[in-house]
Chains A and B, each alone.
Chain A
Amino acid sequence: MTYRLALLMLFSFLVASLLQFLPVSEVLAIWVPQWVALIIIYWALVLDERFKLLLPCFVGLCLDVMNGTILGQHALALLWVSFIVLKNGKQLRRAGRIQQMVEIGLLILGYQFILSVIQGVIGQQLVDWRYFAASLTSAIIWPWISIVLDDSCRRFVKLKEE
């Protein structure tokens, strides 16, 4: 993994976590997309076999610390999401834009479902259905994320020509 790629990945995660934790009003809060999970999905799609599974684990642990949830909750959810992406990478890459959006939305829905199940199991307050609104906005935001990151990859890393 080249160091320029590592730098771009680090930068993308920093921006994503800033966007995810940016304080917004209570009405908007449920619509904030799962930026970090989307970035994980993107890198799992692009890097495919070079994607290290320790990455979603570490990022997930950071999310746990930031959110104050039990250690491992987000890490496990991100791990399973990236597993699904790595398993179905070919189909996902080949899918059209709309189909890709739907699939990403479903992935984020699954991610949120895992999180809420873990929260339910440890006996914390269960979320209501509005919590899942974020998967809709995540699906809508996905094409823009992939365009921006594809573009920065092409300019900054030259990943596609390698």
Chain B
Amino acid sequence: MLFRHATGLGLRVLCLSVFMMGLMVADHHYRYVNNVRNVLSVVLIPLQYALNAPIQAIDWVKMSAATQHQLTTENIHLKQQILLMQVSLQQLINMQQENSQLRALLKSSSRINGQFQEAKLLAMNLEAASAEVVLDKGSRDGVEIGQVVIDVSGVMGQIMDVTPFTSRLLLITDPRSGVPVEDDRSNFQAIVMGTGANMPLSLIHVAETSDVKVGDLLLTSGLGARYPEGYPVGTVSRITKMSGEPFLSIAVEPSALLEQSRRVLIVSHYLNDDSKKMLYEATTVPMKPAVAGGTQ
């Protein structure tokens, strides 16, 4: 210690408190101390996996306790599912071709197929009030901040923090999360915000005259270039009109099984070079003066 001889307890606590507050400011405002975080997170990896062990053990016991009869029925069921999916896939391939031809006719950018990477949730009881979960893939596996995570039934959220072996997923239910969406029925566009863990989402800034009904499916609209286009986000579950408020208050039930999904997919590089260029140009074109177009 620096002040071994003369300092009392209070002074040492004060020094350390000041240091901790400085650390908090550095972390919150400038992200200077990500190295500290990375090093500590590597140290803590055994703990995270140890926490996951009981759940894996339960899964394993379930597997090994299953009878042959159960397994055969499950197998038959899965085969049926595969058959059905392959049939609908045939139609999909046809439709994709048609779609790309139509888009070529319209000279609009082609839709991009994302590449997926599978990841698993690490089970943890996080104390933070925010809606976050930890995934078992990190920067070593090529995960980057901002990548979108989906599960079998819809959008789950985006990666907000990456350490070498794990990453942190901000769920769409978190108040900091906003997803640009489009009504599947009416093509009305708006933004879905989270309101807190285990709470319904909220479709914001929707005027009373807008075409949104209960039961509408909301898909990602692809605006904002963060979430890829066309993935289900949620269904409208309740529309209430508040007197005196300019906008409707609309509750949306998330499509993704946020609490139940254990296996998820990380979408990587869904933008191809063309659309990246287009986006770049769209956002960096210098603003023309307003009078230029009007009079001449």
Contacts and interface: CB of A to CB of B under 8 A. Distances in A.
A22 B33 contact: no
Nearest to B34: A71
B9 A124 contact: no
B241 interface: no
Contacts, number: 109
Nearest to A28: B125
Contacts of B48: 66
The residue among A23, A54, A79, A115 with the most chain B CB atoms within 10 A of its own CB is A23
A61 B51 CA distance: 19
B175 interface: yes
Contact of B128 (A14, A54, A69): A69
Contacts of B12: 53
A79 B13 contact: yes
B41 interface: yes
Interface in B203-226: none
Nearest to A82: B13
Given A72-B21, A72-B23, A24 B125 contact: yes
Interface in B14-46: 16-17, 20-24, 26-28, 33, 36-37, 40-41, 43-44
Interface residues of A, number: 42
A14 B48 CA distance: 11
Given A53-B13, A72-B24, A79-B20, A62 B54 contact: no
A117 B114 CA distance: 41
Contact of A29 (B37, B40, B125, B134): B125
A85 to B, nearest CB: 11
A61 B40 contact: yes
B195 to A, nearest CB: 9
B178 interface: no
A66 B24 contact: no
Interface of B: 9-10, 12-13, 16-17, 20-24, 26-28, 33, 36-37, 40-41, 43-44, 47-48, 50-51, 54-55, 123-130, 132, 134, 161, 168, 174-176, 196, 198, 259
Interface of A: 14, 17-18, 20-24, 26, 29, 32, 53-54, 57, 60-62, 65-73, 75-76, 79-80, 83, 86-87, 115, 118-119, 122, 124-127, 131
Given A29-B125, A83-B9, A86-B9, 4 more contacts: A23-B124, A60-B20, A66-B124, A72-B21
